[in-house]
Amino acid sequence: MKMLLALVYLFAAGVNPLWAQKAGDVGAGVILGNPTGGTAKFWFTDSQALDAGVGFSTRLALYGDYLWHSWKVLPQPSEGKLPVYLGLGAQFRTVSPNEFGLRTVAGIAYWLPRNPVEIFLEVVPVFRLSPGDSVGLDAGLGLRYYFKGT
């Protein structure tokens, strides 16, 4: 997994800069934590995006979140950008019996100044609705490379 992160970063460092968080931009990458796997993000506006992922912890997990970003909560660095974000979503895990829950996401990201790369850290309480009521906590550290939108 470390090798994959290093390759994504090296690839991103060698391309022309693209500035993300514009409507239509799409990012893809990896997230390490619970679950560990692939992640993608599609921007609707400069502050709203859809995040989806597939990963594994002890079982397969699929999730999707609607995220709201703020670029004004934290002081911005001299280079790059530093947003915080909140979101709501759903999660499905394959386990016997299968598990469904609602996610609440809180995160912080850093956008590299000359590369279309986002590094992020998020904490995700999961309110499991089936097969019974319980609360879990997911968290992850990830990296996404952005492709220019339409």
Domains, the chain, ranges and CATH? 2-147 (2.40.160.20)
The β-bridge relationship of strands 48-56 and 36-43 is antiparallel
At residue 125, the pLDDT reads 97
107 or 149: which leads in pLDDT: 107
Q: What is the pTM of this model?
A: 0.83
135 or 57: which leads in pLDDT: 135
The pLDDT > 70 percentage for the chain reads 85
Band of pLDDT at residue 17, cut at 50, 70 and 90: very low
pLDDT tens digits, residue range 103-134?
Answer: 999 999 999 998 999 999 999 999 999 988 99
Residue that the structure tokens 């986002």 belong to: 118
pLDDT tens digits, residue range 42-80?
Answer: 999 999 999 999 999 788 999 999 999 999 999 999 999
Decide: 65 and 40 in contact? Cβ < 8 Å: no
Decide: 16 and 125 in contact? Cβ < 8 Å: no
Residue that the structure tokens 């280079």 belong to: 79
At residue 149, the pLDDT reads 62
Band of pLDDT at residue 21, cut at 50, 70 and 90: low
112 or 3: which leads in pLDDT: 112
Decide: 22 and 148 in contact? Cβ < 8 Å: no
Q: Which among 104, 101, 82, 81 has a CA at the least distance from the CA of 91?
A: 101
